[in-house]
Amino acid sequence: MDPQLRQFKDFLMLYNKITEMCFNQCVDNVFNRDVAEWEGSCVDKCVNKFARFNQKMMSVYVEVQTNINAKRMQEAEAVAAANATASAATDQVAVTANTPS
């Protein structure tokens, strides 16, 4: 799936979850056309609370993911160094074996 399409789909799912959660929590009477003042206030607080939580969670995720990526990079460099050392040792053995005595 296209990464942009996937990101848009994830955004819509999140938007729908927030909408449903805040609606269920805040709207008490669906038979009135007007939104009660307390319902509007509740929805505002619900959305703001979720947005702040999501922002904090994403900042922690970025920090953790950066550490994970750095650790993976170090591991990959260590493996590459070990492979280079093994390859050099194999080449040295091959050169020594092919050298006439």
Distance CA 42, CA 31 (A): 18
CA distance linking residue 28 with residue 37, whole number of Å? 12
**Confidence (pLDDT) at 30:** 84
Contacts of 42 (CB under 8 A, 6+ apart): 22, 25, 26
CATH number at residue 45: 1.10.287.810
pLDDT per position in the chain (101 positions), as tens? 788 898 899 889 989 999 999 999 998 888 888 888 999 999 999 999 988 998 998 899 889 999 999 999 999 999 998 888 888 777 666 556 666 65
Model pLDDT, residue 84: 85
Residue 59 lies in a domain: yes
Q: Is 32 helix (H, G, I), strand (E, B) or coil?
A: coil
Q: Which two tokens stand for residue 76?
A: 């990959």
Tell me, what's the pLDDT at 33? 85
Rg value, the chain, Cα: 29
Domain around 32: 3-95
**Domain count of the chain?**
1
Query: Which pLDDT score is estimated for 68?
Result: 92
